[in-house]
Amino acid sequence: MSKISTVAVITDDEFFRDASAYFLAQQNYAVLNIGPDEQEIRTQLLHQRPDLVIVRTRRGPQSTCALQCIHEHNLPTRTVAYTDAAADQAPTPRHAYLTRADGLEALLRCVAVLEGGHAATAPAAAPTAAAAPDPLAVLGSQERKVLALIGRGLSAKQMAEQLFVSTHTIKNHKTNITRKLAVASGRDLLTVALALREHPALKSALMS
C-alpha cells in the first residue's frame, strides 16, 4: 500500500479535532478537518481523496456515510472508525476500529500499522509494524512532570509547591515544553496535556 500523507478527520468533537490534528501534524501528515454534515463528508472525500479517514462522532450516520462513499466510489482510502463495539469488528489492512476510551496514542499506533499494510487491532499495534514515534521523547523528566500537572489542572503556584521549585522555574519549563512540542499557545499546550494525561510516561513521571 502507498504511504499515508493526507489524513481527513471527521468529528463533531472540538477537543478531539484539535488534539488529533496537532499530533498528526507532528508526524508530518497533512490534516483535513471535515465537519459532521453528510453532504460535506461526501463532497470533501471525493474532492480531496485523502489517504486515510478518521471518523469519531457522537452519532453513527456520519461513519456509515463516509464508509459508503469510500466503497461506492472505490476510493483507495484507509479508515479508522471509533465505535462502541470495536471488539466485535474485524480489522483489515484497510480498516481499523477504536473505542471512545482509546487515547491518541492508540490512534497514532493504528495509523502506523495501517501505513505498514497490516490489520490494526485496537488499540495494540501489530508486532511487525513500526511503532509510532513517541511525542514525549523530546521532553526531560521535569518537563514531563510539569506537562502531567498541566493536564490535571494545576496552576503554576500549585505545580511549584508540588515540585519544590519556584514559579519562575515552572514558567521556564512551560516555555521549553511549548517550544519542543511546537505548540502555538497556552491553550494548545493545555489541549496537548489533556490529550496525553493517560500517557504511561506522564503517569510514571508523577510517581517518580
81-93 pLDDT, tens per residue?
887 665 555 556 6
Gap between the Cα atoms of 55 and 11, Å rounded: 6
Q: How many CA atoms lie within 13 A of 77 on its CB side?
A: 28
User: So what's the pLDDT on residue 1?
Assistant: 57
Question: Is 116 exposed, middle or buried, given 0-12, 13-18 or 19+ CB atoms closer than 10 A?
Answer: middle
Gap between the Cα atoms of 175 and 28, Å rounded: 23
Q: What angle do CA 12, 43, 81 make, to 5 degrees?
A: 45
Gap between the Cα atoms of 65 and 82, Å rounded: 14
Distance of CA 181 to the CA centre of its chain: 14
- Please provide the DSSP assignment of 182-195 as one string: T--SHHHHHHHHHH
Give me the chain's average pLDDT, please: 83
Q: Which residues contact 16 (CB under 8 A, 6 or more apart)?
A: 9, 56
pLDDT at 199 over 60: yes
β-pairing verdict for 52-56 and 30-34: unpaired
What number is the average pLDDT over the span 41-66? 87
Q: What angle do CA 84, 87, 89 make, to 5 degrees?
A: 90
The CATH 1.10.10.10 domain(s) of the chain lie at 141-207
What amino acid occupies position 191?
T
CATH ID of 141-207, from 1.20.1290.10, 3.40.50.720, 1.10.10.10, 3.30.420.40: 1.10.10.10
DSSP 84: T
CATH number, span 6-115: 3.40.50.2300
User: So what's the pLDDT on residue 124?
Assistant: 44
pTM greater than 0.75: no
Length reported for the chain: 208
The CATH 3.40.50.2300 domain(s) of the chain lie at 6-115
Q: Which pLDDT band holds residue 129 (cuts at 50, 70, 90)?
A: very low
SS3 127: coil
Distance of CA 38 to the CA centre of its chain: 23
Gap between the Cα atoms of 26 and 8, Å rounded: 15
User: So what's the pLDDT on residue 181?
Assistant: 86
Contact 144/136 with Cβ under 8 angstroms? Answer: yes
Phi, psi of 174 (to 5 degrees): -65, -40
